[in-house]
Chains A and B, each alone.
Chain A
Amino acid sequence: MQAARLATLRGYRQMGISARLAIGAVVLLALVLVVGLVSLSLGPVDISLRHVAWIILSGVGFETPEFGRTEQLVIEQIRLPRIIVGASVGAALGVAGATMQGLFRNPMADPGIIGVSAGGALGAVVAIAAGLSALFFLALPLFAFAGAIAAAFLVYGIAVVGGHFSMATLLLAGVAVNAFLGAIVSAIIIFLPDNELLREVLFWLAGGLDARAWEHVRIATPLIAGSTALLMLLSRDLNLLMLGDDEARSMGVRVGVTRVVLLAVSALATGAAVAVSGTIAFVGLVTPHVLRLALGPDNRVLIPMSALGGAVFVMVADTVARLVIEPAEMRVGILTAFVGAPFFIALLIKNKRQVYSL
């Protein structure tokens, strides 16, 4: 069994890049579709898979048999946007995780490491505490996004002080800025005037996808799709950067520029995700890691597959989160950490010797 699995993976890694991409994309896209359809049919209002298919097909202009008006509303206005936001967030965290791990040459790196999550959290908390989110529906995502990007710039700025970029400083500055912004968030929470706001803040911090609507899709999805495409274009350069700056430079990579662009684009993707879902833990760490074990370290495959894999991860987690404690809802962020962490630890133990050799 084990031997057969290894042989299959070895065979896969020896294929050309186009074949590896095509196979991976077909498998993971099929998963995305299946999980998406199942997720659409599940919930307080049960809708059969057949009706889900009809509603979607008629939505894109096909002739279909009759289906219920309520069902259509539930699908089109509630579940579909929520699932698309979930998939986009998962994709963003997946690609940002893969990129960060490559840039830092460290499988422990996470999209949150450059301060984006903490900055996003602070932005969101400020929007809630100041009462802006109650006034203006998009205030929260916009503040979260601004906070995320500002924090990423701050961390990067610290790492280039003195005109000389240092990856180690970036990592440490990320840790420090995360702690600092976390402290500000805690301070704001303590001084919040009423419990209703407190609940709202804690709710957001746990990361979730409830009540996500087409507006959220419009904010996040194009940014995430664009970032993913850019990261894919830079994935061959990232491969060389993984071998070290000197290696990359001697192979013709413009190390400085490439690194800044990779950092900025992954911060953008993460910021867009944080803006619409809060901080969903573990997806960015686990997804590329698991896929790397299976598909190898080539970022040209790993980045697009991490997008699809992250999407599947968050879609599944969100579906489960919606169902486990019906009629209430679990937060996706709690679930990804709750399930993701033990799964990850089990995987690490199982693959201890094999993590970086096939």
Chain B
Amino acid sequence: MTMNGNTPTAVDARAVSFSVEAKTLLDGVDVRAGRGHFVGLIGPNGAGKSTLLRTLSGILRHQEGAVSLEGRDLESLPARDVAAILALVPQLAPYTQGFTAFELVLMGRYPHLGRFQVESQTDDRIAREAMRLTETEDFGPRTLETLSGGERQRVFLARALAQQPRILLLDEPTSNLDILHQLTILGLVRRLVDGGLTAIAAIHDLNLAARYCDHLVVLSEGRVVTEGSPEEVLQPETIEAAFGVRSAVYREPVTGALAISLIEPAEEPVAATNGNGVTSAAGR
């Protein structure tokens, strides 16, 4: 990653550890993202991707290590100042209590408003623009409960954009999206990143990660196992070590992008089979 010498790294986490009770969820994690870079976090379920993103956003307090945002120590920053420069799109959308999509997106303006201020026309415009970018403007008057999973996910992205963050953390932003919106939403993030935004996203789809990210960090059991450019990281050996899946990696002839074909689990999971060759888990 090339970085401008005099602007501080947008996100710089060093030796971050986080544990709950006796369980260590993050164990000395180093992650850096320079301004205008798109970093992908990949790793199996339970690797600690969400935990890391929540730590970087200040929701969780890490016990060891240091996180700095644009050169300032996260712990010394008031929550409001953090929210004014950093937005998080959570993996699981919360229960939204009957708020409409537009009301929710407008809440993104919260960190920019004073106690005695109400949203101005400008705030309204910013919220509407965020909804336009995420193609959610039609959902404005509807309550979140009436939206589909993917629609709701895009509304939460719209809210994060309405925050006008310089750092955007995305926790599996495409998990509920149809193939068209996977491309448009990641394409949107990519354009914003090219315009100077810094993004860190947990992504399960390796093809999308390869295509849109500048840099990939592989997490497993709370540790960074490897990191680098998509070409460096996405090797069949790395994928097998991290996920236990055999794969083939090649250049996709049409798009020219790196492509990963998943072949099979490296080892069959130990599962009892019944007489019909159906695993008991599936047959239940």
* A residues at B contact (CB < 8 Å): 10, 13-14, 16-18, 105, 233, 236, 239-240, 242-244, 246-247, 249-254, 292, 296-298, 300, 356-358
Given the known A-B contacts A16-B124, A298-B99, are A246 and B107 also in contact in the complex, defined by CB atoms under 8 Å?
A: no
Stretch at the interface among B28-36, B63-71, B90-98, B190-198: B90-98
B248 contacts the other chain (Cβ, under 8 Å)? no
Q: A13-B141, A233-B115, A356-B143 are in contact. Are A249 and B79 (CB under 8 A)?
A: yes
- Please determine whether A297 and B99 come into contact, CB atoms closer than 8 angstroms: yes
* 23 A-B contacts (beta carbon < 8 Å): A10-B141, A16-B119, A105-B97, A239-B107, A242-B97, A243-B95, A243-B96, A244-B94, A246-B90, A250-B87, A251-B83, A251-B107, A251-B111, A252-B80, A252-B84, A253-B80, A253-B110, A296-B98, A356-B97, A356-B98, A357-B98, A358-B98, A358-B100
Complex partner residue of A249 from B59, B97, B113, B115, CB under 8 angstroms: B59
In the complex the two chains form, what is the Cα distance from A16 to B141 in whole Å? 12
Q: Which residues of A contact B79 (CB under 8 A)?
A: 249, 252-254
A246:B99 contact, CB within 8 angstroms: no
Asked if B134 is at the interface (CB within 8 A of a chain A CB), the reply is: no
Which of A105, A252, A253 has most chain B Cβ within 10 Å?
A: A252
Q: Is the Cβ of A250 less than 8 Å from the Cβ of B59?
A: yes
- Do B146 and A357 have beta carbons less than 8 Å apart? yes
Number of interface residues of B (CB under 8 A): 39
Set of chain A residues within 8 Å of B107, measured between Cβ atoms: 239-240, 251
How would residues 164 to 207 of chain B score, 1 for a CB under 8 Å from any chain A CB and 0 otherwise? 00000000000000000000000000000000000000000000
Could you tell me the distance between the alpha carbons of A344 and B96 in the complex, rounded to whole angstroms? Answer: 23
Give the CA-CA distance A13 to B99 in the complex, in Å: 10
B103 CB-CB contact with A under 8 Å? yes
With a CB–CB cut-off of 8 A, which chain A residues contact B103? 13, 296, 298
A168 and B280 CA atoms in complex are apart in Å by 39
Residues of chain A with a CB closer than 8 A to B54's CB: 246
Q: Chain B residues near A356 (CB, 8 Å)? A: 97-98, 143, 145
Besides A236-B110, A253-B80, 17 new A-B residue pairs in contact (Cβ under 8 A), listed by A number? A13-B100, A13-B141, A14-B141, A105-B97, A239-B107, A243-B95, A243-B96, A244-B94, A246-B59, A250-B57, A250-B58, A250-B83, A250-B88, A252-B110, A296-B103, A297-B99, A356-B98
How would residues 260 to 282 of chain B score, 1 for a CB under 8 Å from any chain A CB and 0 otherwise?
00000000000000000000000
A249 to B80 CA separation, bound complex (whole angstroms)? 8
> Contacts of B87 on A, CB cut-off 8 Å?
250
- Say if the beta carbon of B254 comes within 8 Å of chain A: no
Q: How far is the CA of A150 from the CA of B186 in the complex (A)?
A: 54
Query: Considering only CB atoms, which chain B residue lies closest to A255 in the complex?
Result: B79
Residues of A within 8 A of B59 (CB): 246, 249-250
Residues of chain A lying within 8 A (CB to CB) of residue B38: none
A155 to B162, CA, bound (A): 39
Contact status B90-A296, CB under 8 Å: no
Within 8 Å CB of B1, what residues of A?
none
| Measured CA separation A341–B141 after assembly (Å) | 32
Query: Complex: how many Å from CA A246 to CA B116?
Result: 24
The residue of chain B having its C-beta at the shortest distance from the C-beta of A293 within the complex is B98
Contact present for B99 and A18 (CB under 8 Å): no
Task: For residue A303, give the distance in angstroms from its CB to the closest CB of chain B.
Answer: 14
Chain A nearest CB from B236 CB (Å) reads 37
Smallest CB-CB separation from A358: which chain B residue? B143
Chain B contacts of A298 at CB under 8 A? 99, 103
Q: With both chains docked as a complex, state the minimum distance between the C-beta of B93 and any C-beta of chain A, in angstroms.
A: 9
B146 CB contacts on chain A under 8 angstroms: 357
Most buried by B among A247, A249, A250, A300: A250
- Chain B residues contacting A16 (CB-CB under 8 Å) are 119, 124
Residues of B within 8 A of A253 (CB): 79-80, 110
User: Which chain A residues lie closer than 8 Å to B111 at the CB level?
Assistant: 251-252
| Contact indicator B98/A292 (Cβ below 8 Å) | yes
Q: Taking the nearest CB of chain B, how far is it from the CB of A161, in angstroms?
A: 18
Chain A residues within an 8 Å CB radius of B94:
243-244, 246-247
Q: Name the B residues within 8 Å of A292 (CB-CB).
A: 98
- Complex interface: chain A residues within 8 A of B145 (CB): 356-357
Ranked nearest first, the 9 interchain pairs of A and B with the lowest CB-CB distance are A252-B83, A252-B80, A252-B111, A356-B98, A297-B98, A244-B94, A357-B143, A252-B79, A243-B94
In the bound assembly, the distance between CA atoms of A357 and B142 in angstroms comes to 8
Q: Does B41 contact A (CB under 8 A)?
A: no
Residues of chain B contacted by A242 (CB below 8 angstroms): 97
In the assembled complex, how far is the CB of residue A188 from the closest CB belonging to chain B, in whole angstroms? 41
B213 within 8 A of A: no
Q: Contacts A249-B79, A250-B83: A296 and B118 contacting too (C-beta < 8 A)?
A: no
B18 within 8 A of A: no
By beta carbon, the residue of chain A nearest B89 is A250
Alpha-carbon gap, A17 to B124, bound state (A): 11
Q: List the A side residues contacting B102 at CB < 8 Å.
A: 14
Contact between A240 and B110 (Cβ–Cβ < 8 Å)? yes
Q: Which of the listed residues B78, B82, B110 has the most CB atoms from chain A within 10 Å of its own CB?
A: B110
- Residues of B with C-beta under 8 A to A296: 98-100, 103
CA gap between A244 and B92 in the complex, in Å: 12
Using Cβ atoms and an 8 Å threshold, which residues of chain B touch A10?
A: 141
What residue of chain A has the Cβ atom nearest to residue B96's Cβ? A243
Q: How far is the CB of B70 from chain A (nearest CB, A)?
A: 16
Q: Given the interface contacts A240-B107, A251-B110, A252-B82, does A105 sit within 8 Å of B95 by beta carbon? A: yes
Docked pose: A358 CA to B141 CA in angstroms: 9
Q: Which residues of A contact B118 (CB under 8 A)?
A: 17-18, 300
